[in-house]
């Protein structure tokens, strides 16, 4: 390990020994670009770091974490869902579902969480509750059960609505519950998925979460973007039997990756992971250039 990495290890190790302050006071050991952030021990539920954790923020497509949780908890995941016209009348990002097509709930969950498809979110919501509006009521009920009492959801996809909001604290609780579901964990850790439309070609869905490729141990979770929300990233990492969940809300494109790496590293060290395991294998070579999609993710 070169001198620069040793310095990084030293700084983060020292930081992990200091208590994180909560509320509006930002922990001086971590300087984040994000307006709000939270870091959670996935096993104990203890918060390890908080920044403006109770401030209302727009979740964008990280909304789909809760959407997926409700669908998975409902079960019968191999049941077929028939797409209708209303499902397709939603802004991108979409998978261009066609009325009359049929997919299993399981397949649609991959489209929801990897492609971040809004038409898929609408189809799953309607299938689960009869309408997107009824599904939103279930979202709010489930969020409250999880302790996410400062959030309010009005749709299953996260397209902007001033009455659709969450907090870093609440989103961490929702993500923790979702990560307790084996299928959810499997999907959000998947980098590529072969999507086949009925009577159509196979296309490769690529997970928008770059940390799956560039942060060793990353095993999820979900990106998001709208103009109002700016960049959003919920991420998780598992090392040496320790797992942490990070939430970064309202920042720029570089910020979600830099802030999330810093939070995940901080948390793993604080929980006792060896510095070598956390730092030495963090970065992996870029596989290809990634393009920006301005639609919600």
Query: Measuring CA to CA, which residue among 280, 251, 260, 255 is closest to residue 211?
Result: 260
Written as six digits, the tokens of 135 are 């599904």
Of 16, 36, 62, 116, the active-site residue reads 116
Of 16, 36, 62, 64, the active-site residue reads 64
Written as six digits, the tokens of 22 are 């909560």
**Coil vs helix vs strand at 296:** coil
Q: 130 preceded by cis ω (within 30°)?
A: no
Q: Is the backbone of residue 122 left (phi > 0), alpha (psi -120 to 50) or beta?
A: alpha
Helix axes 253-270, 3-16, angle to 10 degrees: 70
The question of whether 61 is a catalytic residue gets the answer: yes
In whole angstroms, what is the distance from residue 231 CA to residue 260 CA?
Answer: 12
The question of whether 189 is a catalytic residue gets the answer: no
CA distance readout (Å), 47 to 19, 41, 60, 225, 230: 11, 6, 23, 25, 24
Of 16, 61, 151, 235, the active-site residue reads 61
Q: Is 96 exposed, middle or buried (0-12, 13-18, 19+ CB in 10 A)?
A: exposed
The question of whether 116 is a catalytic residue gets the answer: yes
**Coil vs helix vs strand at 280:** coil
Written as six digits, the tokens of 181 are 């579901």
**What are the catalytic residues?**
61, 64, 116
């Amino acid at each position: 390990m070169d001198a620069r990495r040793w310095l990084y290890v030293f700084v983060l190790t020292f930081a992990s020994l200091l208590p994180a302050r909560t509320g509006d006071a930002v922990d001086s050991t971590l300087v984040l670009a994000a307006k709000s952030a939270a870091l959670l021990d996935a096993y104990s539920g203890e918060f390890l770091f908080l920044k403006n954790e109770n401030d209302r923020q727009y979740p964008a497509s990280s909304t789909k974490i809760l959407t997926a949780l409700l669908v998975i908890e409902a079960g019968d995941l191999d049941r077929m869902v028939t797409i209708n016209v209303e499902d397709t009348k939603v802004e991108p990002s979409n998978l261009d579902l066609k009325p009359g097509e049929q997919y299993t709930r399981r397949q649609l969950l991959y489209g929801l969480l990897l492609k971040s498809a809004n038409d898929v979110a609408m189809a799953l919501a309607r299938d689960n509750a009869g309408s997107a509006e009824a599904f939103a009521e279930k979202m709010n009920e489930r969020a409250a059960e999880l302790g996410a009492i400062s959030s309010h959801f009005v749709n299953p996809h996260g397209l902007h609505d001033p009455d659709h909001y969450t907090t870093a604290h609440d989103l961490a609780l929702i993500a923790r519950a979702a990560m307790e579901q084996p299928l959810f964990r499997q999907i959000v850790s998947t980098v590529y998925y072969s999507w086949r439309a009925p009577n159509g070609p196979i296309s490769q869905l690529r997970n928008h979460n770059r940390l799956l490729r560039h942060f060793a141990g990353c095993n999820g979770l979900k990106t998001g973007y709208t103009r109002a929300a700016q960049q959003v990233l919920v991420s998780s990492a598992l090392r040496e039997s320790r797992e942490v969940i990070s939430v970064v809300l309202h920042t720029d494109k570089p910020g979600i990756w830099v802030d999330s790496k810093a939070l995940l590293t901080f948390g793993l060290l604080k929980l006792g992971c060896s510095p070598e395991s956390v730092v030495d294998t963090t970065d992996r070579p870029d596989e290809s250039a990634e393009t920006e999609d301005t639609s919600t993710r």
